[in-house]
Amino acid sequence: MIQGTIIRAAGGFFSVLTEAREIYQCRARGNLKRDNQSLMVGDRVLFVPPLGSAGPTAEKDIDDGIIEELIPRNSCLNRPNVANVDQLAVIMSLKQPSYDWQLASRLMVMAEKEGLEALLCLNKADLVEDDELNEIESQLNPFPYRIIICSALCGRGLDSLAKGLTGKCTVFAGPSGAGKSSLLNALQPGLTLKTGTVSDKIKRGRHTTRQAELLPLDFGGSVVDTPGFTRLELADLKPEDLATLFPEFEAYSGVCAYRDCRHLTEPRCAIRQHLGNQINQLRYEHYSYFMDELSKRQEVY
């Protein structure tokens, strides 16, 4: 059997990418469908290649291989369903449109909640002067996630971004116009999804609800084609859990005077004592803003 990753699923057929970077079209064995754990994009599977096959057939045949086994998932995102996503890349542009640090924190809270790594990519560096960039960098210092300054236009930082994506399955998120597609295209021309990649035969399948797709990167790793989380509310989050989703707070967990300190107005709060030093002022403001949002929501129910 060969191991591979499902990069596309439609109408009961799966495109499976192997380590040799070949794509096989497969169906799933009956028991895999029944097992209440229907296969999804991102799943790592073991499959039997077609008998007497001379290798993968570039999407010519619909039933090249049979998926026999699902390798247990590390993680699973919903809507769209994608298994084994490793990280979230938050893409913001430094100008046009301007950055929104609160949105960045919001996305990172969601990444933490889903157990994903996160990185912040600041694009369109070509549009800001060095002074302004220094100012922004000091505002974001310290920051609990890796920051990559880049420009899809002039190529700055693309090596670092490529390194950050290598070997991982990444979801891109960020405001429209920040440069997500431009960055992907600059990293690997031709990568961005063109509709119609699902073969005609598959399209004629009965159930053609399209799922997210994985775009394999030549340098290893992949990107999920539906960029970003679809819901931006801090859905089903309890206020008391929010602090655990700010990794820079972790060093102070249990250090505050009150055991159930929410780090808002309580006296001798370790988080607030480190504001402006180990704890970034902006990040703390986002925390208290989200706390407020979550508490208000709780009152409604």
**Residues at the site binding Zn ion, with contacts judged by CB under 5 A:** 256, 261, 263, 269, 271
Name which of ligand GDP, Zn ion, none residue 271 binds, using a CB cut-off of 5 to 8 Å depending on partner kind: Zn ion
Does 178 help bind ligand GDP (rule: CB under 6 A)?
yes
- Using an 8 Å Cβ cutoff, are 173 and 106 in contact? no
Report helix, strand or coil for 54: coil
Residue nearer to ligand GDP on the CB measure, 17 or 120: 120
Does 262 help bind ligand GDP (rule: CB under 6 A)?
no
Contacts 24+ apart (CB under 8 A), 183-187: 183/91, 183/121, 183/123, 183/150, 183/152, 183/158, 184/215, 184/223, 185/152, 186/152, 186/155, 186/158, 187/158, 187/161, 187/162, 187/217
- Using an 8 Å Cβ cutoff, are 185 and 192 in contact? yes
Does 181 help bind ligand GDP (rule: CB under 6 A)?
yes
Does 123 help bind ligand GDP (rule: CB under 6 A)?
yes
Name which of ligand GDP, Zn ion, none residue 8 binds, using a CB cut-off of 5 to 8 Å depending on partner kind: none
Name which of Zn ion, ligand GDP, none residue 244 binds, using a CB cut-off of 5 to 8 Å depending on partner kind: none
Does 170 help bind ligand GDP (rule: CB under 6 A)?
no
Does 15 help bind ligand GDP (rule: CB under 6 A)?
no
Q: At a CB cut-off of 8 Å and minimum separation 6, what does 179 contact?
A: 91, 93, 123, 124, 152
Report helix, strand or coil for 108: helix
**Which among 15, 17, 6, 56 has a CA at the least distance from the CA of 201?**
15
Name which of ligand GDP, Zn ion, none residue 176 binds, using a CB cut-off of 5 to 8 Å depending on partner kind: ligand GDP
As measured in angstroms, the least distance from the Cβ of 262 to Zn ion is 7
Residue nearer to Zn ion on the CB measure, 235 or 257: 257
Could you count the other beta carbons within 10 Å of the beta carbon of residue 109? 19
**Which among 174, 37, 39 has a CA at the least distance from the CA of 101?**
174
- Residues composing the chain: 301
Does 177 help bind ligand GDP (rule: CB under 6 A)?
yes
Of 48, 127, 136, 255, the one binding ligand GDP by CB under 6 A? 127
Name which of Zn ion, ligand GDP, none residue 179 binds, using a CB cut-off of 5 to 8 Å depending on partner kind: ligand GDP
Of 151, 199, 211, 226, the one binding ligand GDP by CB under 6 A? 151
Report helix, strand or coil for 39: coil
Does 69 help bind ligand GDP (rule: CB under 6 A)?
no
- Structural tokens at position 236: 């089903």
Residue nearer to ligand GDP on the CB measure, 8 or 124: 124
Name which of ligand GDP, Zn ion, none residue 48 binds, using a CB cut-off of 5 to 8 Å depending on partner kind: none
- Structural tokens at position 156: 């700055």
Which contiguous run of DSSP H or E holds residue 169?
Answer: strand 169-173
Does 180 help bind ligand GDP (rule: CB under 6 A)?
yes
Does 147 help bind ligand GDP (rule: CB under 6 A)?
no
- Binding residues for ligand GDP, rule: CB under 6 A, are 123-124, 126-127, 151-153, 176-182
